[in-house]
Structure 1
Amino acid sequence: MNADAHHPAAPDLSRRDLTVDLARVFCVLLVVVIHVLMIGVSRDATGALSVDRTLGEQPWFPLATWAGQVMPLFFVVGGFASATAWASTVRRGGDAGDYVRGRLLRLGRPAAAILVFLAAGLAVARLLGVDPALLATVAVGIGSPLWFLAAYGITQLFVPAMAGLHARRPVVTLVALAAGGVAVDLVRHATGVTDVGLLNLLFVWLFVQQLGFVYADARFGRIPRRMLVAVAAACYLLLVPMTSSGVWSRDMLVDLNPPMATLMVLGVAQLCLLRLARPLLARLMETRAARAVVFAVGSRGMTVYLWHLPLAIVLTGVLLLIGAPFPEPASAIWWWSRIPVVAGVLGLAFAVSLAVARLERAPRADGPGRGRPSLPVIGVAAVLLIAPAFAIMLDGLSLPLAVIGAVAVPASIRLLGPVSSPRAPSLGTPTGSRRSTTSASPAR
């Protein structure tokens, strides 16, 4: 008898670019750490609770965001995954409808679980008489990561078209998107109308996603290292006059929602740095320990991302109930105490993943168009999925918006049709994080 007969087959990693998986896991874990460091809870002399943004109030924080703002890198990695997933869809004979349906399901299934949880939690808190002002502050905080569902969902709708543009006119496409992003920022600054910046949900994030298409293109791998170093350095130097002009902030978190052109510059720098680090990351990913960590986090990355702030609040509440001491935020003991807090949040997220991990697995691909709803129905499903997250991004999470999301997102999933038995958990980026040996564009 085969000695391995009773052991599950290991995932086939022979064609994967594991450095992309590692980059995605790094982004998720850094976001968790930053968000935990943002939450500073203390009691005043009267015993009343106060909550502040401890990390964001440090004088060195704005400059630190030039290294710590990794959402552009997250979209670069997501663009790589999107390019390879779209190429895979085309190879199977699928079309844009097949691709968009699959990607919406990948976003919607984990989102439905967290929105139901948040709606129930906020409703219970209101019934228990939690102070409305405190509840509103907490709700806005725990709902802040949901902006990603809107931004990423929007970019996924454009992947088939943007992949075609990358195949035909890659440089022109990037220049046009960059010009559009800068123009939006200038109009927003000149008019003082902040909502104008919402147009950059298209220009900025499509630009950064397009960088992921570039990373998946074999031609990018032939660029000399010295040129990559020069471009990355030039990007960081360019941020100096940009953030001194009054149009853009030095704090890359301020420039996040709505997104601004500084994130495009940061995205180019991070693209180059990722390519420069690839040989080192590849050697790291040859070790079992690194693969184990990347698999453990990567296979439940969306769960960790969506649940970490609610779970941080739950953990804080439990510590308050048991009378645990809360050191003064920003004190030396407070910074050291963040280590067990981060570990506790990640532990809770992994526990939650045991219950909801199946929602994060990729649906098994059916034949092209098989059992697929029509394009108009997919369009309605996209609106139901993206609109609640978009509203939360604009106004912050509240009980009404949580309830709307808890109803709309499951309805979106229902419209997208039945889901085949999910695959076993995959390592890393969503659906098809594989390194192309040719251009990732389906036209090549």
Structure 2
Amino acid sequence: MNTSVPRHRDLTLDLARVVCVLVVVFVHLLLVSVGRNPDGTPFIINPVSGQRWFAPATWIAEIMPMFFVVGGFAARVGWESAQRRGETASTFVRTRLRRLALPALPLFIVLTVALIIVSAIGVEPGLAGAIAVPVGSVLWFLAAYALAQALAPWMIRWHEHNPWLALVVLFAGAFFVDVVRLVVGIQGLGLGRIPAEGYGIGDELFGLPNVAFVWLFAQQIGFCLRDGWFSRVRWWNLVLIVAGFACLGLLVILGEYSASMLTNQWPPTLPLAVLAVIQAALLTLLHRPLTAIMGTKPAQAIVFFLGSRLMSVYLWHVPAIVLLTGIQLLWLPMPDPGTGAWWLTRPLFVVAVVVIVWAISSVTRRWESPQPILSPRWPSAAVTTIAVAVFIVQSLAISSYGLDLPLAILGLACTAAAVILTGGSHADDGSSATASPAEEVPPPPR
């Protein structure tokens, strides 16, 4: 594999993205396990969420804010490059939306066909839902990241004119949405009271505005990282990390937030905005040792290999886990969930998931590697806006209500529409727009 890279590329961002996805895979392997009752019937259980250590561990394992921080860093660099090439904001947004919609299209095709088959053969709805809902639960990322990328040119402009105002407004907006959601949960309004572990399902829709406020705040932190805010006085990063975790503690103790950051992930809540600051500071604090790691050829080879298929790993890892679970039920011995033997199987399952996703991505990779669109079919900004809207709506619907056949069909239709609306004539030389979002990212200012 050719691991040569531009001299000024910051490989620590590639490493951060790959590590984040692998952590997501590992966490999802912890959350669901299968076993057999004494009579031989199978059961599905979450063996870790009730453990005392689990909620504190999520303060480290909840790494989704890092995606949006790194995405903000890369979007700023990408927008600067686009402006030098004379691209419009519509072209910039269209290109990034296509990089999300194309890899998602084969997934929606498979999910729709699978749910049609499940419905046709009469699988018990409860069992079908137990499988389909986790598969759809990760698709919130498509809506959130598409929104952040679509608004990037304007959010960058806001950051350039008044960065502190942007941060304060977005943070305050996230706080306000959480307050409204809390009031709705307490007063009921027919939606039920917030459970002890945090917000409930009934008031979930009131938290949807935070898909914008929280993740756009994390994106702004990425802009700040690009500007060198975190690297000007390095020891301040340690202060930010300590103060950030103290703030998380206060939010959990004094607010109505779950101690589990995974519970705070959907819809996103204020603690994830705090985590974005913590993780940006941590990435800066560890920049030198991470750079040393990425100076080695083996690390580059692994990161570039996984990085070239990162969307496939994210989108297909839950179906891969479902497949492994089915194989385990049919043919493999199953240690009791939560036992020492079960824990020893988790790293092996991560490797197995990556292998399955690699096999899938060998077929789907061309969707993850779209060729540049030289002549858009519909180049207008209005069409780009419609493409973004339909792509976001289906992902929000699936994340809010759970995946089922009607929503799978909706997801397929909307994703196909986004692909068609952003399409056009390809480059003739076979060149690809596949590169990682951090492809041309220079190192942070020293």
Using the alignment, how far apart are the partners of 1:263 and 1:183 within structure 2?
Answer: 15
Q: 1:2-401 alignment to 2 at 5 Å?
A: 11-192=4-185, 193-217=203-227, 219-220=228-229, 222-322=231-331, 324-364=332-372, 366=374, 372-401=378-407
User: Measured at CA, do residues 438 and 23 of structure 1 come closer, stay the same or move farther in structure 2, by a change above 3 Å?
Assistant: closer
The equivalent position to 1:415 in structure 2, one of 408, 411, 421, is: 421
User: Measured at CA, do residues 285 and 299 of structure 1 come closer, stay the same or move farther in structure 2, by a change above 3 Å?
Assistant: same
Equivalent position amino acid for 2:284 in 1: R
Using the alignment, how far apart are the partners of 1:362 and 1:83 within structure 2?
Answer: 21
Q: How many residues align?
A: 427
- For structure 1, list consecutive stretches of 5 or more residues without a partner in the other structure: 1-7, 440-444
The Cα of 1:372 is off from its aligned counterpart by: 4.9
Using the alignment, how far apart are the partners of 1:291 and 1:263 within structure 2?
Answer: 30
User: Measured at CA, do residues 230 and 419 of structure 1 come closer, stay the same or move farther in structure 2, by a change above 3 Å?
Assistant: farther
TM-score, normalisation: structure 1: 0.92
Could you tell me the percent identity over the aligned residues? 38
CA contact (8 A) 2:100 2:142 kept: yes
Using the alignment, how far apart are the partners of 1:425 and 1:341 within structure 2?
Answer: 32
CA contact (8 A) 2:103 2:368 kept: yes
Using the alignment, how far apart are the partners of 2:440 and 2:85 within structure 1?
Answer: 16
CA contact (8 A) 2:376 2:423 kept: no
Equivalent position amino acid for 2:86 in 1: G
- For structure 2, list consecutive stretches of 5 or more residues without a partner in the other structure: 186-202
TM-score, normalisation: structure 2: 0.91
Using the alignment, how far apart are the partners of 1:373 and 1:438 within structure 2?
Answer: 36
Equivalent position amino acid for 1:198 in 2: L
The Cα of 1:272 is off from its aligned counterpart by: 0.4
The Cα of 1:24 is off from its aligned counterpart by: 0.3
Equivalent position amino acid for 2:312 in 1: T
Q: Secondary structure at 1:25's aligned position in 2?
A: helix
Q: Secondary structure at 1:282's aligned position in 2?
A: helix
Q: Secondary structure at 1:50's aligned position in 2?
A: strand
Q: Secondary structure at 1:57's aligned position in 2?
A: coil
The Cα of 1:48 is off from its aligned counterpart by: 2.3
Q: Secondary structure at 1:55's aligned position in 2?
A: coil
Q: Secondary structure at 2:264's aligned position in 1?
A: coil
User: Measured at CA, do residues 381 and 426 of structure 1 come closer, stay the same or move farther in structure 2, by a change above 3 Å?
Assistant: closer
User: Measured at CA, do residues 10 and 195 of structure 1 come closer, stay the same or move farther in structure 2, by a change above 3 Å?
Assistant: closer
Which deviates more, 36-45 or 95-104?
Answer: 36-45
Tell me which stretches of 4 or more aligned residues in structure 1 moved more than 3 Å. Answer: 8-12, 369-372, 421-427, 436-439
Using the alignment, how far apart are the partners of 1:171 and 1:112 within structure 2?
Answer: 38
Using the alignment, how far apart are the partners of 2:253 and 2:357 within structure 1?
Answer: 40
Using the alignment, how far apart are the partners of 1:27 and 1:9 within structure 2?
Answer: 23
The Cα of 1:437 is off from its aligned counterpart by: 7.2
Using the alignment, how far apart are the partners of 1:99 and 1:424 within structure 2?
Answer: 16
CA contact (8 A) 1:21 1:433 kept: no
Give CA deviations for 1:243-270 in whole Å, capped at 9, x if unaligned: 0124211110111111001011111011
Using the alignment, how far apart are the partners of 2:291 and 2:241 within structure 1?
Answer: 21
Equivalent position amino acid for 1:430 in 2: P
Equivalent position amino acid for 1:325 in 2: P
Q: Secondary structure at 1:387's aligned position in 2?
A: helix
